[in-house]
Every structure is written in structure tokens, then in C-alpha cells.
Amino acid sequence: MTEERKERVQSPQDRARLEALKRSWQQKREITDRLSHIKTKIGVYSGKGGVGKTTVAVNLAVALAQKGYRVGLMDADIDCPNVTKVIAATEPPAHEEGKFIPPEAFGVKVMSMAFFQQNEEEAIIWRGPMVHNAISQFLEITDWGELDFLVVDLPPGTSDAPLTVMQTLSLDGFIVVTTPQALAKLDAKRSVNMIRKMNVNILGIVENMSGDMFGSGAGEELAKETDTPFLGRLELRREYRDVTRPTVLVSKKVSQEYDQIIGKVLPRLEALAQPAG
């Protein structure tokens, strides 16, 4: 065999890499096709867990649905999926022709890893590549249909899981959630910096759990420090103790707070969609 012929013969490692690239390309094409019918994708994000990010994502999605928009809600927190609890979704997704059809709860289509857990109390202990594969498969096999908005509840932190979502989903903008405490504000600022490094738009800052118990003002301070819009303050209210339905459907005051946030987010999205110049 000539030297030229030897160079043309692929090794098993080369063939494996080529097959992996083909699978990755096919998966990206499937994901692009699934998401092509979604007009706007909004990420709800914070570097710190426990700031009420999931609560904000769920109530935002339901508030948008109440206004007549077609809305989906994706729980991208693979390790600790809580969206189904907050939105009180009990029906699992339907399975048709190799794809999942998300169930609806309060007018919102919902998809979460929680639907596939046999025991909700078991810990999901996965390394980064497994989390990446799970998120990609969710996107690949979920048929959302036609949506005006897909609200994505991101996992906390600034490493593998949120990075995977940002790189895979091509989000139109992020809402960053903080609480009044100094540490939550610091981690939210880290989140803002990460989003900017990924060259993704920030829609604004929301301060959650505001009021006499924890104080207020951190959200506005963070917005000024990062030159980011301040979207609004969500008070810590006793109505959140009702776990039978999202709180925007329980409290008129909470509903008004989310209406104010949406009233600032929609013009911001329109402005960001305008071509520069």
C-alpha cells in the first residue's frame, strides 16, 4: 500500500469522531426545527439558588398566558426540577411518533425532568456531559408547536448547565432575579457578567422577596451598577403559601406586579429586535 493510500484510510478513532460530528449536526438540526415555531425565548436566571427563580419563571409564564399569548415553560434545571410543583402540573407529557407533547397547566405548556423521575426525592447526580445531553434531548424530542413565548427556568450557577442552555437555545433575552440580600446581589451580578460574555441580551433585573422581612433596593442598585433596566419588585406575600395554583391567579397584587414587569419586558424585546443603525 502506498503512503498516499495509507493517509486516506481512516483510523477507528477518526471514524468515531466523524460519526460523533454527524450525530451532533443532526441533533442541532432537529433542535433548530423544534424551536423554529417559537417567536420569543426568555431565560429566567440567577447565579444563586433559592432566590425564587422558578417562582418568577412560572408566574411570568402564567401571566403571559392570561394575556392571551401562547406560552411554553421549560424546566432546564435538570438537577433539581421544581417547575411542575410550582405550576401544579400533574399530567405527564404524551408520546407520539418519537416526540413528546408537553401537557398544559393553567394555559401553559410545561416540560420538565420531573415528569421522568420515579421518585422525586432521589438526587440526580450527573456530570456536565450528561446534563448537556439531557438538555439537548429535551429540546430535540419536545414538540412545542406554535408559541409566542417560551420561558426557560435555568439552573443556578455559572458553569456547565446554564452554559449549555445559553449555547443551545439561542435565547432572545434574560431576566435576572435577585433578592434584597447582599450575597444574592453579588451572585446576580456574576450572572449578568456571564450573560454579557455570551453576547446575549439582558431584558432586566427583578427583585424578588422584597419587603419588611429582607429589605429592598438591591435590584435597583444592581440595575444601576450594571446599566441594566430594572423591571420591578416582587413583594414577599403570604399568598405564595397557596401551592394549588400559581400566585398570579391567587393575588390581585401579585398579578399587578407581574403585569408591570411584562409591561417593561415587551417593549424591551421589541427594541432589541430592531436592526441597529
Strand partners, 174: 43, 202
- Residue 203 resides in a domain: yes
Helix pair angle (160-169, 128-141), 10° resolution: 30
Residues 12-31: tens digit of each pLDDT? 777 777 666 666 666 667 77
* pLDDT value for 2: 53
CA distance 215 to 221: 13
CB atoms within 10 A of CB 199: 7
Task: Count up the domains in the chain and report the number.
Answer: 1
Give 235's pLDDT tier (boundaries 50, 70, 90).
very high
213 Cβ contact list (under 8 Å, min separation 6): 236
Confidence class for position 111, pLDDT limits 50, 70, 90: very high
Structure confidence by residue, pLDDT tens digits, 62-73: 999 999 999 999
Work out the angle at residue 273's Cα, subtended by the Cα atoms of residues 270 and 275, and round it to the nearest 5 degrees: 125
Mean pLDDT lowest among 1-15, 67-81, 128-142, 227-241: 1-15
18 inside domain: no
Q: What CATH number is given to the structural domain containing 236?
A: 3.40.50.300
Comparing CA positions, the residue from 81, 74, 85 lying closest to residue 117 is 81
What does the H/E/C string look like for the chain?
CCHHHHHHCCCHHHHHHHHHHHHHHHHHHHHHHHHCCEEEEEEEECCCCCCCHHHHHHHHHHHHHHCCCCEEEEECCCCCCCHHHHCCCCCCCEEECCEEECCEECCEEEECHHHHCCCCCCCCCCCHHHHHHHHHHHHHHECCCCEEEEEEECCCCCCHHHHHHHHHHCCCEEEEEECCCHHHHHHHHHHHHHHHHCCCCEEEEEEEEEECCCECCHHHHHHHHHCCCEEEEEECCHHHHCCCCCHHHCCHHHHHHHHHHHHHHHHHHHHHHCCCC
Residue 252 lies in a domain: yes
Mean pLDDT across 102-116: 93
Average pLDDT over residues 242-253: 96
Q: Which of 202, 192, 175 lies closest to 258, judged by CA?
A: 175
Q: What's the domain range around 143?
A: 42-272
- Burial group, residue 137, by CB count within 10 angstroms (0-12, 13-18, 19+): middle
Q: Please indicate, yes or no, if residue 243 is contained in any of the structural domains.
A: yes
Would the pLDDT of 74 be above 80? Answer: yes
Q: What is the mean pLDDT of residues 152-179?
A: 85
What pLDDT was estimated at residue 138?
79
Residue 87 belongs to a domain = yes
Question: Which pLDDT belongs to residue 20?
Answer: 60
- Split at pLDDT 50, 70, 90, the class of 276 is low
Percent of the chain at pLDDT exceeding 70: 87
The pLDDT of residue 125: 65
Q: Residue 80 above 90 pLDDT? A: no
For position 113, what pLDDT does the model report?
A: 86
Residue 112, pLDDT > 80, answer: yes
Tell me which of 11-25, 130-144, 172-186, 251-265 is least confident. 11-25
135 pLDDT band, cuts 50/70/90, is confident
